[in-house]
Amino acid sequence: MIDFIETILPNVAKHPERFFNGFLETLVMVLWSGSISFVLGLLIGITITVTKKGGILENRVVYQILDKLINLFRSIPFIILLTGVMPLSRLLMGTAIGVRGAIVPLVFGCVPFFSRQVETALAEVDGGLIEAAESMGLSPFDIIFRVYLRESVGPLVRGTTITLVSLIGLTAMAGAVGAGGLGNYAIMYGHDRNQLDVTWLTIVVLVIVVNLIQTGGNRIVRKNRH
């Protein structure tokens, strides 16, 4: 088995620690930036939903500010955003490079996208349920948790899955500016040193990870269908 691996992946086999370190760095970036983005994106998505025109907490000023900010950051290509928030990364994380330095731009790139996913998911909730909840005297807080979130578990999981897949792509792109992870591993060794086995192994691993996430998300969605 070892001889077979050395035959088809000679450059990887010489320095397996490079691959495992890259995979671990990617995992850390996804977990940290994904967790932060999930919380912030969920809060912003809920706020946009309830403050829009006709919402249970209608507030035009709050809605317009959040809506415009989301559109602003979504319109900036991520590779440009990476360099644009470097000063903020240094301020918050103490560095603008490596895994720590990538967390801030990854959050900025992920939160607007996930916020729209949350907004879309909550928009699928039947308006009649919201009206019924209001007529029963439920508070806005109760409506958010007992109606909006409970009735949109499936769509929210679907949006989270899409966001995670997108986030993995962003971590790979962050590798182009020294953020570490599999993206940096593929560029530094696969591309710059023309080691094709490194490139192909990275591709295969990322495809497997994405498919595992997608499969898990699809199963959760099916279980939560009414």
pLDDT value of residue 14: 86
**Is pLDDT at 226 greater than 60 in this prediction?**
no
CATH 3.40.50.12280 fits 17-223, yes or no: no
With a pLDDT cut of 90, the percent of the chain lying above it is 49
Give how far the C-alpha of residue 10 lies from the chain's centroid of Cα atoms, to the nearest Å: 33
pLDDT value of residue 84: 87
**Is pLDDT at 15 greater than 90 in this prediction?**
no
- Tokens read off for 204: 């295969």
Closest CA to 202 of 168, 177, 179: 168
3-state SS, residue 192: coil
pLDDT value of residue 1: 58
**Who contacts 169 (Cβ-Cβ below 8 Å, separation ≥6)?**
none
**Is pLDDT at 23 greater than 90 in this prediction?**
yes
108-131 pLDDT, tens digit each: 999 999 999 999 999 988 888 888
What is the rounded distance in angstroms from the CA atom of residue 177 to the CA atom of residue 184? 8
Q: Among the listed ranges 28-32, 148-152, 178-182, which one has the minimum average pLDDT value?
A: 178-182
- Dihedral over Cα of 16, 20, 23, 29: its sign: negative
Closest CA to 40 of 156, 118, 98, 153: 118
pLDDT value of residue 173: 83
Between 178 and 12, the more confident residue is: 12
Q: Among the listed ranges 34-38, 86-90, 100-104, 173-177, which one has the minimum average pLDDT value?
A: 173-177
Biggest CA-to-CA distance, the chain: 71
Residue in the structure block whose two tokens are 């900036």? 76
154-172 pLDDT, tens digit each: 899 999 999 999 999 898 8
pTM of the model: 0.89
- Dihedral over Cα of 69, 70, 74, 80: its sign: positive
Q: Are 111 and 37 in contact (CB under 8 A)?
A: yes
Please, what is the average pLDDT of the chain?
Answer: 89
